[in-house]
Structure 1
Amino acid sequence: MTTDRELKDAGEIEAFIDSIDTFLLDCDGVIWAGNTVFDGVPEALNYLRSKGKRLLFVTNNSTKSRASYLKKFQSLNLHATLDEIFGSAYAAAYYIAHQLNFPPTKKVYVIGMSGIQDELTSEGISSVGGSEDDDNLSDMADMASIKPDPSIGAVLLGFDLNINYKKLAKAFTYLHHDEGVHFLATNSDLTFPAGGTVYPGGFGTGALLAALSAPLDRKPVVLGKPHQTMLDVIVNKYHLDPQRTCMIGDRLDTDIAFGQHGGLKTLLVMTGVTSPKKLQESDIQPDRFIQGLANLKA
């Protein structure tokens, strides 16, 4: 590990904080692990607010809407507002509504959990799919019921615990038969953390994207970290100055790469998935690292 990049000295920490107007914070691995808030995090967040800093909570988790995330913050006694929460589901909805010039007569076909459709609704976008297609095809004869649909203007993929072949076949059909249908994804994570370990993120994200991209010979626009599109949406919505914005995260390949792609300052915390060995061996290096978010209040 490159120890000269570690923030430890109180003066250095204060100077670093003073150089930032807006902090983008990942949640799992930075603020909490599951439903347990890391020691000292509430105090650190309050301290940053007391210094006049804007806080935005940025997550690739597309299963929850901002309203659902806000309830989690409240249940953990953490202060946050709806406007401070920016998940990949909302990033996708905002992108479709404000940057895609999506026709009001068109619908989005969703593979994903309710959080995605909730966010689409909040931005005035009509959608179909999601839980209404949880029942799978019973046999091959049912394939004939899946046909192109001219009302579909975009296919949006997110994490889906109930992924099945019916959803995959519908998404493929809409994209295959109309090149004008937008191909979007909330994120491209191959794994996700839960219960002290990791599980495949392919159910609606990384691997499922490959299952569609390969036969379509087409890549989606991905809205989550580390892709530039998500940062463009955040900058567009909040009018941020990238040079005075810092991404704080626990993952090198998503959080830190995300910040670097957008010209932000980056700060890695060691409370999540990145071990000292991984940090030392990685080609992706943060501007600075710190043992935990609590250390920002030195």
Structure 2
Amino acid sequence: MSTSHPGDWVLLNIHAYLGKRRNATTASATTRDHQTIEGPPPFSPASSARRKISSFSVSPSIVNPTTSPRQKTPDYFIYRAHTKREPSLQRLSRPHPFFHDDDVGLLSRGHHYTIAALIATPTLNVFHLHRFHSEIGTWTYTKVSVGEPQQSGFPSLLIPNNCSRLLHHDTSTVMAIGGEGGTMGWVDLWRGILFCDLLRDEPTLRAVPLPLPLDLVSCNNGLGVQLGCPNSRRAIAFIKKGGSNTEDCLKLVHLEANATRHSPP
């Protein structure tokens, strides 16, 4: 990648390491128990080696959570690379309650950013929305809900017991859409997307269905199969085309695996 015309994003190493490996992109910070770490990710100590995207320009992005042996919940850091000064690594205030990595997304807004986590509650279709706006510097909490699936665009379909995973939203990935309202989408790749405008004073959820995996629901003589993690079968991307004659869109890929058992010779 040319250093004179850097791209907007760069994918960094996905493997954690121990020890110091500094270069021009390295920044330092401390955990809440005063241990020194270095980024960009992955970094140590005891880094959870998840793949993350970090910004190569001034736009920010979540880098990686890190947990020391004495910590029960991870710290979260923002890594920012700058063109005119050294990169920085900033520890965020501790989120409460703790959320899983798959529940959280980051919306870049020029020199500011918003982090949001959507956490399910015991009540169906009711969620807790936690937001962190960089210009405010603290987490805020809002209860948000979405209508019943039949009222939210999801088709009415008899779901067999083996496919009961389709009856509730379980986030697979989070997409930052942006726009005036700062839209973010929490994607359940088997079921649908919950969109939320993070910059609204009173955010609400909008449910958009994805094509159901009818091949898995209808197989096994109508009994269906257990639906596990969809990441090996499905993927989705937000395509920002730009231009006055083109429209942004979402593209979903679904893989149907067909296998034939051969008898031994």
The alignment's TM-score, normalised by the length of structure 2, stands at 0.23
> Considering only CA atoms, is the larger Rg found in Structure 1 or Structure 2?
2
Higher helix proportion (structure 1 or 2): 1
The alignment's TM-score, normalised by the length of structure 1, stands at 0.22
